[in-house]
A and B are shown apart, each in its own frame.
Chain A
């Protein structure tokens, strides 16, 4: 019993370590990737002992700055809620990772470890519930600041997130219908089957329309360009206008965390999670006849590596999109959400249902 607990704690620790570091790393990626896109050099003036490390220490410098900055709480603000809001944001973004499987089963001795922090049957619902709860941090931040601009910003953000959550949820229904499960680990396992023995049956093949709707709506959920109307760092007064120091930093961190959640979800739902093509639990079975047996350790590690690479690729893509597109106007944003993505997602569900009835469910 105590061993089970320790294993869970270890898994949670690994996931938290990886995710938080990746979020910190995102600040560097954001600076350098935007610099390369825009023919610049990017931040490179935070050397430690003369080592610039391509400007990687700027993340550390940011943290030092944010922690030593004066923490201003408006005089009429609700102090408890004002302090609580950024923690809400970060908390719900972090706990969403608990249900995402980052690898298949690892067998040590006679113990089978699922590489997933929390094995929940309705993992998909859990992740979406946590993502939805993230909106509380946003509305609380606006509300507790006692600043009318902040409240307006919070309402804008809430309206946007709720609108896009609907499209997001309906896009997912198509995937759930095809694979017939809400358990993310099982969903990934079912993506491992091959079509005609050659092509892995990943979600992107089964549900390409759902993928596009999902990625668009998910980008809106992360509140980053082109959907950064709630924040609009320097141009629009957003919900965190009354925040400074590390509390502001936590909202910023939430952005990156949500980007990573969305990247992990997109990987899990549409790109086969930890699946490596032709890799079965006992080894590679190539469709051209070759076989390459691998041990369970190698199999599990390959899965984790596959999941990480796909997730990082999505992070990279999202960052690239963020530095490519301009911001939407608010009416365009709402029109796209309600008149564009929502009907497409519903139509996708209907078409999927009809096809499933005639073709029959796979597997």
Chain B
């Protein structure tokens, strides 16, 4: 094994006395101290707010700026009439490596659109946030641009998002507070139920589940 002797640099006389080095260190800390003190005072008066006095981001009140390509919680985009853009092609469910997407397609009342999702669930407890569903979607119906990072729940069940929450990022669990009942208007065209809802519905869903 080759041995490489590392020669430590000899300290000069003044370095051995520590004093000049201590003064150099103090100069740095004093500079930071007074700069930040001045900036904090200026911020109180509403001045110089473009200069940050502290690197701290006080999280719940203040959010870190996200890059535009950041993959956050999913959402389903909607058409002008408020119905989902999703055509129920199942590509995202197929491509999903975590198999966290469950879609139940139904026949769309508009003859130009074949299908629409009667149910569209994403289990965020399983999702790996890979973004394949967004890339694979031919209709730009699913995006990951809500900026929601703090998805948390007390149960695995509550981590499942249904179509209500996916279409309205402002809507959070518990869903029982949601005014939209299932099957709801946003999944239907013109407020009129089409297709075989009853067949899809099966047993009534318990909408009271979720976080307290």
Q: List 8 A-B contacts (CB under 8 A).
A: A33-B33, A36-B37, A36-B40, A37-B29, A39-B32, A39-B54, A40-B55, A321-B26
- Could you list 6 further interchain pairs (A-B, Cβ under 8 angstroms) beyond the known A39-B32, A39-B54, A39-B55? A37-B33, A39-B36, A41-B54, A320-B33, A324-B26, A336-B18
Residues in A whose Cβ lies below 8 Å from that of B33 = 33, 36-37, 320
Measured CA separation A54–B125 after assembly (Å): 40
Q: Is the CB of B32 within 8 A of A320?
A: no
Q: Is the CB of A325 within 8 A of B32?
A: no
Measured CA separation A36–B54 after assembly (Å): 8
Greatest chain B CB density within 10 A among A33, A36, A37, A41 is at A36
In the complex, what residue of chain B is closest to A54 when comparing beta carbons? B40
Give B25-39 as 1s and 0s: 1 = Cβ < 8 Å from A's Cβ atoms: 110111011001100
Residues in B whose Cβ lies below 8 Å from that of A33 = 33
Measured CA separation A239–B19 after assembly (Å): 30
Give A31-63 as 1s and 0s: 1 = Cβ < 8 Å from B's Cβ atoms: 001011111110000000000000000000000
Query: In the complex, which of the residues B25, B26, B54 contacts A35, with contact meaning CB atoms closer than 8 Å?
Result: B54
Tell me whether B22 is interfacial, beta carbon within 8 Å: yes
Q: Is the CB of B58 within 8 A of A320?
A: no
Tell me whether A323 is interfacial, beta carbon within 8 Å: yes
Q: Looking at chain B's contact residues, is the secondary structure mostly helix, strand, loop, or mixed?
A: helix
A72: shortest Cβ distance to chain B, in Å?
34
Q: Is the CB of B22 within 8 A of A40?
A: no
Q: Which of A299-340 contact B (CB under 8 A)?
A: 320-321, 323-325, 336
Measured CA separation A41–B22 after assembly (Å): 25
Q: Interface residue tally of chain A, by bracket?
A: 10 to 19
Residues in B whose Cβ lies below 8 Å from that of A325 = 22, 25
Tell me whether A212 is interfacial, beta carbon within 8 Å: yes
Residues in B whose Cβ lies below 8 Å from that of A39 = 32, 36, 53-56
Residues in A whose Cβ lies below 8 Å from that of B58 = 41
Measured CA separation A321–B30 after assembly (Å): 10
Q: Is the CB of A36 within 8 A of B36?
A: yes
In the complex, what residue of chain A is closest to B17 when comparing beta carbons? A340
Greatest chain B CB density within 10 A among A212, A320, A324 is at A324
Query: In the complex, which of the residues B25, B30, B56 contacts A40, with contact meaning CB atoms closer than 8 Å?
Result: B56
Q: Is the CB of B19 within 8 A of A212?
A: yes
Residues in A whose Cβ lies below 8 Å from that of B55 = 39-40
Q: Is the CB of A320 within 8 A of B54?
A: no
B31: shortest Cβ distance to chain A, in Å?
9
Q: Is the CB of A321 within 8 A of B56?
A: no
**10 A-B pairs closest in CB distance:** A36-B36, A41-B56, A324-B25, A324-B29, A41-B54, A37-B29, A39-B55, A36-B33, A37-B33, A37-B32
Residues in B whose Cβ lies below 8 Å from that of A336 = 18
Measured CA separation A33–B58 after assembly (Å): 18
Residues in B whose Cβ lies below 8 Å from that of A324 = 22, 25-26, 28-29
Q: Which of A74-127 contact B (CB under 8 A)?
A: none
Measured CA separation A321–B18 after assembly (Å): 13
Measured CA separation A212–B53 after assembly (Å): 33
Measured CA separation A40–B28 after assembly (Å): 15
Q: Is the CB of A38 within 8 A of B26?
A: no
Measured CA separation A40–B57 after assembly (Å): 9
Measured CA separation A333–B138 after assembly (Å): 70
Measured CA separation A2–B58 after assembly (Å): 57
In the complex, what residue of chain B is closest to A328 when comparing beta carbons? B18
Measured CA separation A70–B211 after assembly (Å): 35
Measured CA separation A41–B28 after assembly (Å): 18
Measured CA separation A39–B54 after assembly (Å): 4
Residues in B whose Cβ lies below 8 Å from that of A38 = 32
Residues in A whose Cβ lies below 8 Å from that of B26 = 320-321, 324
In the complex, what residue of chain B is closest to A216 when comparing beta carbons? B18
Measured CA separation A323–B26 after assembly (Å): 9
Measured CA separation A321–B25 after assembly (Å): 9
Give A141-152 as 1s and 0s: 1 = Cβ < 8 Å from B's Cβ atoms: 000000000000
Give B1-36 as 1s and 0s: 1 = Cβ < 8 Å from A's Cβ atoms: 000000000000000001100100110111011001
Residues in A whose Cβ lies below 8 Å from that of B28 = 324
Residues in B whose Cβ lies below 8 Å from that of A321 = 22, 26
Residues in A whose Cβ lies below 8 Å from that of B30 = 320
Residues in B whose Cβ lies below 8 Å from that of A40 = 54-56
In the complex, what residue of chain A is closest to B30 when comparing beta carbons? A320
